[in-house]
Structure 1
Amino acid sequence: MIVVTGATGGLGGATVEHLLRRVPADRIGVSVRDTAKARHFADRGVRVRQGSYEDPGALLHSFAGADQVLVVSGNDPAADVVGLHRNAVEAAVAAGARRVLYTSQHGAVPGNPYRPSDIHTATEAILGDSSVAWTALRNGAYGPLDQVLGPWQRTGVIAQPADGPVPYTDRADIAEATAVILAGDRSVDGPVALTAPTAVTFDDFAQIASDLTGRTVKRIVLDDEQWVADQTAIGVPEQAARSMLTWYQAARAGYFAEAGPLLAELLGREPRTAADRLAAHLAT
């Protein structure tokens, strides 16, 4: 059995949908905080059990019978996320899983200034010390582009701190590739990058946006502290703004620059590009 955590979230839920196209529903289980939110999976024959990373006993029950467990990373800034991930890994091992897969982050290496990287590198170390085979899916940045680029559609400028090349990746592609691995179509070990084929900068985005809209979109580089001040002025908590600033700092230091071929190989086609994602965003 394949057990997916976080199946009521965006990535976990999309992964289950792709799994249902590849394996019988009775080979899939989900571990979720609120089973009512996973009723649409239960109605299709998926085993739904309650489990949360805070409750090792519930996790052990929800992972029972699993050959593989997909641990979707947590993101609560107020929680001991590494400790919660440890609970999930240990429960998967105790339940007898032969492989644990974890949704890590592109560029999750020591020294990366982007703060969540520390969580991912620590969790990968926990996986490495475990007694089972493991895979860390270092997913390319797939968050909403409007969060990354700012209000350029209204202002006509991408006014953000200095950046660097990033292979912005489509979450749907990552979910599909994750399902391919879980379904056994291809086995991968250790940390692997799942990214779009090409890394782009904000300069590139300005050109892409100009081409798509038919109007000139400019790129303006803001001083780091000015950007933080601008963010707090519109109501973003300073701590959250400074956390996001570390992402731009990591990008311009090259931590996200490398794009890999594995995502395309798993999909059997070219993944969606940054231009594809921006065009889809404009169409909504």
Structure 2
Amino acid sequence: MIIVTGATGTLNGATVDHLLKRVPPARVGVSVRDPERAKHLADQGVRVRQGSYDEPAALRHSFADAEQVLLVSSSDATADVVAQHRTAIDAAVAAGARRILYTSAHGTGFDTPYPPLAIHAATEDHLAASGVAWTVLRNGFYGDLGQLLGPWQATGVIAKPADGPFSWVDRRDAAEAAAAILASDSPFDGPVDLTLPSPVTLADFASAASELTGRHVDRIVVDDEKWVADEMANGVPEAAARFTLSMFQATRTGHFARSDSKLSRLLGREPRSVADQLADQIAG
């Protein structure tokens, strides 16, 4: 059985949807905080059990009979996330899982200004020491384009701190690739980088936005401290603004410049480009 955590969330929810196109529902189980939110999966024949990264016994029960367990990274900003991940890994080992997979991030490491990457690195270290086969899905950045780019549709500018090359992948592509790996007869051992074929910059977003809208969209570089001050003036807490700034700082050190073709191979096509993703944003 393939067990997926976080299956009521956006990423792993889409992963389960893609997985059900590849394997019978009787081979799929989900571990979720609130089983009522997974009723649509239970109705399709998926095994639904309650599980939380804070409840080891419940996790072990939800992972029972697993050949593979896909762990989504915790989004609990108030928790000791590394401890949560260790609890989940240990529960999967105790349940007898033959392979554990984890949604990590491209560029993971301890030597980066972007804090989440050290969390992923610590989790990967624990996973590598677990004694079972393991795979980490090092996804490129994904999420809300509005947060990344700001109100460019209204202002005609992308005004952000200096950046560097990075991969902004479509979450739907990341989910489809995860399902392909879970359903594959071939093992994927260790880190798997899931990135665009070539990295992009915010200038590339501005160029694509200009072409899509037929009006010029400027990429304006804002000084780091001025950007933080502007964010705070708009009601963003300083800690949150500096957290986001650290992502831009990490891009401009070349930390995310490396690309890989694995995502394209897993999808059997090119992943959605930044232009494709912007077109979806414009369409609403």
Q: Shorter-chain TM-score: what band? A: over 0.9
Give the 5 Å matches for 1:168-183: 168-183=168-183
Distance across 2 between alignment mates of 1:238 and 1:77? 16
Alignment-derived partner of residue 228 in structure 2: 228
Give the 5 Å matches for 1:269-280: 269-280=269-280
Is residue 29 of structure 2 the alignment partner of residue 29 of structure 1? yes
Distance across 1 between alignment mates of 2:75 and 2:231? 21
Asked if the contact 1:167/1:274 (under 8 Å) is kept, the reply is: no
SS in 2 for 1:70: strand
Question: Which amino acid is the alignment partner of residue 156 of structure 2?
Answer: G
Shift of 1:203: 1.4
Distance across 1 between alignment mates of 2:276 and 2:107? 23
Distance across 1 between alignment mates of 2:10 and 2:231? 26
Shift of 1:110: 2.3
Alignment-derived partner of residue 199 in structure 1: 199
Asked if the contact 1:64/1:95 (under 8 Å) is kept, the reply is: yes
Shift of 1:184: 2.0
Higher mean displacement: 109-118 or 83-92: 109-118
Shift of 1:235: 1.3
Shift of 1:206: 1.3
Normalised to the residue count of structure 1, the TM-score between the two structures is: 0.98
Alignment-derived partner of residue 125 in structure 1: 125
Shift of 1:185: 4.3
SS in 1 for 2:246: helix
Alignment-derived partner of residue 154 in structure 1: 154
Alignment-derived partner of residue 142 in structure 1: 142
Question: Which amino acid is the alignment partner of residue 205 of structure 1?
Answer: F
Higher mean displacement: 114-123 or 183-192: 183-192
SS in 2 for 1:166: coil
Higher mean displacement: 91-100 or 192-201: 192-201
Distance across 1 between alignment mates of 2:185 and 2:129? 26
Distance across 2 between alignment mates of 1:170 and 1:266? 14
SS in 2 for 1:119: helix
Which stretches of structure 1, 4 residues or more, deviate above 3 A after TM superposition?
none
Asked if the contact 1:180/1:186 (under 8 Å) is kept, the reply is: no
SS in 2 for 1:103: strand
Alignment-derived partner of residue 248 in structure 1: 248
SS in 2 for 1:196: coil
Residue by residue over 1:74-109, the C-alpha shift from the partner in whole angstroms, topping out at 9 and shown as x without a partner, is 122221000000000000000000000000001002
Give the 5 Å matches for 1:204-223: 204-223=204-223
SS in 1 for 2:210: helix
Shift of 1:281: 1.0
Shift of 1:112: 1.4
Asked if the contact 1:114/1:243 (under 8 Å) is kept, the reply is: yes
Residue by residue over 1:160-200, the C-alpha shift from the partner in whole angstroms, topping out at 9 and shown as x without a partner, is 00000112101101101100111124421111110121211
Question: Which amino acid is the alignment partner of residue 147 of structure 2?
Answer: Q
SS in 2 for 1:206: helix
Distance across 2 between alignment mates of 1:280 and 1:241? 26
Distance across 2 between alignment mates of 1:271 and 1:239? 33
Normalised to the residue count of structure 2, the TM-score between the two structures is: 0.98
Asked if the contact 1:209/1:217 (under 8 Å) is kept, the reply is: yes
Which runs of 5 or more structure 1 residues have no equivalent in the other structure? none
SS in 1 for 2:247: helix
Alignment-derived partner of residue 77 in structure 2: 77
Asked if the contact 1:152/1:158 (under 8 Å) is kept, the reply is: yes
Which runs of 5 or more structure 2 residues have no equivalent in the other structure? none
Asked if the contact 1:157/1:220 (under 8 Å) is kept, the reply is: yes
Question: Which amino acid is the alignment partner of residue 90 of structure 1?
Answer: D
Question: Which amino acid is the alignment partner of residue 74 of structure 2?
Answer: G
Distance across 1 between alignment mates of 2:250 and 2:121? 15
Distance across 2 between alignment mates of 1:90 and 1:55? 12
SS in 1 for 2:103: strand
Question: Which amino acid is the alignment partner of residue 189 of structure 2?
Answer: D
Equivalent pairs counted in the alignment come to 284
Is residue 6 of structure 2 the alignment partner of residue 3 of structure 1? no
Question: Which amino acid is the alignment partner of residue 143 of structure 1?
Answer: G
Distance across 1 between alignment mates of 2:154 and 2:95? 52
SS in 2 for 1:242: helix
